[in-house]
Amino acid sequence: MEYVKLGNTGLDVSRLCLGCMGFGEPGRGFHKWTLDEENSRPIVKKALELGINFFDTANVYAEGTSEEIVGRALKDYANRDEIVLATKVFSRMHEGPNGSGLSRKAIMSEIDKSLTRVGTDYVDLYQIHRWDEHTPIEETMEALHDVVKAGKARYIGASVMHAWQFQKALHVAEKYGWTRFVTMQNHYNLIYREEEREMMPLCQEEHIGVIPFSPLASGRLTRNPQESTQRSETDQVQKAKYDATAEADRIIIDQVAAIAASHGVPRAQIALAWLLQKAPVTAPIIGATKIAHLEDAAAALSITLTPEEIVLLEDSYVPHPVYGSNAGFK
């Protein structure tokens, strides 16, 4: 496993991050394909054996049960001081007023609930899951600063927003001397590259660590379009992200298949190898629900694509509708 600094910090993270949205009590929350605790734990253990020290979850994943499962597994299998644990806040966690969003009240309440679920007294990276259009960014940034100063989070990060919103948040933090975002968790892969227009250059200029989710486009980059899985049949979020451009994306998926065949490796390794070569990507978030997913991801670290292969993968890309801001949840 390779390790790099997380953005402009001194924190060392593995070049792969295990995304934990796929862990949780089945039937809870947005997704119906999550793994229960018994089937989640071997994947967490394997990630640790491969050298992955970076784990990403969220309060909303499977209604909090993802945090619980991940917290218990890491407590049993890992040294807390070696683990970089990330979670998120924004999504609706209970009905009625103040059940979601990035108000000071919501942030202060949700950080404590997340810490209880993961069973630690701090998280390493506390991220806002979306931009809150109904709360002043000054209120959000000051509350996050206070979370850090209280020792409940070491760093803060952002996820899925427009570049102008992210720049505004960075400016507000600098203006008032508050804790600054060090990461951007965005939607970025071979068939969704809209982030290259503004967000990626901004992150590179500001020395922000990019930790993209959906690096394999919810599995679409790993199989033939006609093949289906439980997730592809039931995950409405991935349908919203990719169905509208499926025909155009097929050309890129075919190129991934051809290059994978020439290397004698699974397609996932080529899609990840491309992403790992894109600055300023720090650590793609791998949503593994099988041991083989982790093994493919680790193997991708040893693949270097040639400039000619990168051109083949990129040249057929066509503009996609922006999937960002508050347009759905990953």
The range of the structural domain enclosing residue 130 comes to 3-314
Q: Is 126 a catalytic residue?
A: no
From the list 10, 51, 97, 11, the residue with the least C-alpha distance to 301 is 51
- pLDDT number for residue 229: 59
Number of domains comprising the chain: 1
Q: Does 67 reside within a domain?
A: yes
Q: Does 128 reside within a domain?
A: yes
- Domain CATH code at residue 201: 3.20.20.100
Provide the residue count of the chain.
Answer: 330
Q: Does 320 reside within a domain?
A: no
**Residue 50: how many CB atoms within 10 A of its CB?**
18
Q: Does 153 reside within a domain?
A: yes
Q: Does 285 reside within a domain?
A: yes
Q: Does 98 reside within a domain?
A: yes
Backbone angles phi, psi at 292, to 5 degrees: -60, -30
Q: What is the pLDDT of residues 247-295, one digit of tens each?
A: 989 999 999 999 999 999 999 999 999 999 999 999 999 999 999 999 9
Residue 316: partners with Cβ closer than 8 Å, 6 or more residues away: 248, 251, 252, 255
Q: Does 325 reside within a domain?
A: no
Q: What is the pLDDT of residues 44-102, one digit of tens each?
A: 999 999 999 999 999 999 999 999 999 999 999 999 999 999 999 999 899 999 999 99
From the list 161, 15, 140, the residue with the least C-alpha distance to 84 is 15
Model confidence at 9, pLDDT cuts 50, 70, 90, reads very high
Q: Does 194 reside within a domain?
A: yes
Contact 236, 209 (CB under 8 A): no
| CA-derived radius of gyration, the chain | 19
Give me the catalytic one of 3, 61, 155, 242: 61
From the list 201, 250, 247, 200, the residue with the least C-alpha distance to 221 is 250
Distance CA 45, CA 312 (A): 36
